[in-house]
Amino acid sequence: MSKLHFNADTPLYTSDGKAWRIDQLDAALHNLEAANKPVILFVHGRGKEPSKSLKGGTFTKGLAVHKLELGYDAKVLMFNWDSAFEGLHFLDRELPLSHTEAAAKALGLVLEALIKHQTAQPKAKKMALLVHSMGSIVVEKAVEKGYWPGVKGLFSALLFSQPDADDVGHSVWLNRLAQREKVYVTLNADDHVLLRSTDGRIPGRHALGLGTEDALAPLATYVDLSRMGPLGKKDEDHEVFGKGAMNGQLHVCHFFEQVLKGQPVQLDPAANVEAIEREVIYRLKSRQEPSNPCLKIPKLPGD
């Protein structure tokens, strides 16, 4: 199977492997919306993309776009940025970090195009934005550099899944974003990938997705998945939005279903929350129920 390579001229991809320019966003979304399913804009993390998320990875299974579409009965538009690591050094963060500002600028142009699309269709259902791992640094740069539009409510919700952005100082840019969007952040102290994500990081800082003692963004909602046992196989816990990585945890599944499908999100101590810490961190209860329909693991390409 041939690999797909990063191309700055076509930063948008659909699950069929088709590449789209930013000025084609309207047409791409019309195609996706015609399926009458929830639509997710996906900003991927580190890796040799777009091939990893569309055709599979070398060091990890990848196929994130298919995990999302098949696992959530949704359609996905992926924003691709130059996230490849150096050669075979899969722990390298330096090279992808050097490309995050260019990616942030391109993402800003995508969001401006999205504003035009929504203006032309004011009654259309808004899509969710899923930002994974190092994709959080692209969003961080977009907010800090002014590439993120000033309008409010572009998305039904914005979910940072196991963000690789630095924990120290994150509250400033994240709270600015949370003034415009409904923002959720997942935390998992057992994330094996983020525990190794130290290259190119200032000493004393670590990935936000591991949790933090630093100041929090008061307008954001943090969802703690830690202390619930291993979520999936080694390294799969980093892509916990995939149904196969949830280790049968029903509350985890329902949370992702609600956010990614644009449904009301339930975080209630009487139902699915074990504890609320520091006012904005919601620790989910453990409820292992792998036979529940929510947790049905889809058959992925190549399985």
Q: Is 302 among the domain residues?
A: no
pLDDT recorded at residue 201: 96
> Is 253 inside any structural domain?
yes
What is the total count of domains within the chain? 1
The reported pLDDT for the residue numbered 102 is 98
- Give domain status of residue 5, yes or no: no
For the domain that residue 127 is a member of, what is the CATH number? Answer: 3.40.50
Report the pLDDT value the prediction gives residue 232, as an integer from 0 to 100.
Answer: 61
Residue 227, by phi and psi: left (phi above 0), alpha (psi -120 to 50) or beta?
left
Environment class of 182 (CB within 10 Å of its CB; exposed 0-12, middle 13-18, buried 19+) = middle
Residue 7 in any domain: the answer is no
**pLDDT reported for residue 2:** 59
Domain carrying residue 101? 12-295
How many of the other CB atoms lie within 10 Å of CB of 195? 15
Looking at residue 1, what is its pLDDT? 43
Does residue 96 have a cis peptide bond before it, meaning omega lies within 30 degrees of 0?
no
- Predicted confidence at residue 123, as pLDDT, reads 87
- Dig out the tokens for 26 from the structure: 């309207």
91, part of any domain: yes
Residue 176 belongs to some domain of the structure: yes
C-alpha dihedral (16, 181, 207, 100), degrees to nearest 10: 60
Q: Is 116 contained in some domain?
A: yes
Which pLDDT tens digits describe the chain residue by residue (303 residues)? 458 999 999 999 999 999 999 999 999 999 999 999 999 999 999 999 999 999 996 556 789 999 999 999 999 999 999 999 876 667 789 999 999 999 999 999 999 999 999 999 998 899 999 999 999 999 999 999 999 999 999 999 999 999 999 999 999 999 999 999 999 999 999 898 999 999 999 999 999 999 999 999 999 999 999 876 656 665 578 999 999 999 899 999 999 999 999 999 999 999 999 999 999 999 999 999 999 999 999 999 988
Instruction: Determine, yes or no, domain membership for 42.
Output: yes
Distance CA 117, CA 138 (A): 22
Q: What is the pTM of this model?
A: 0.96
**Residues 29-61 as b or e (16 or more Cβ within 10 Å = b):** bebbbeeeebbbbbbbbbbbbbbbbbbbbeebb
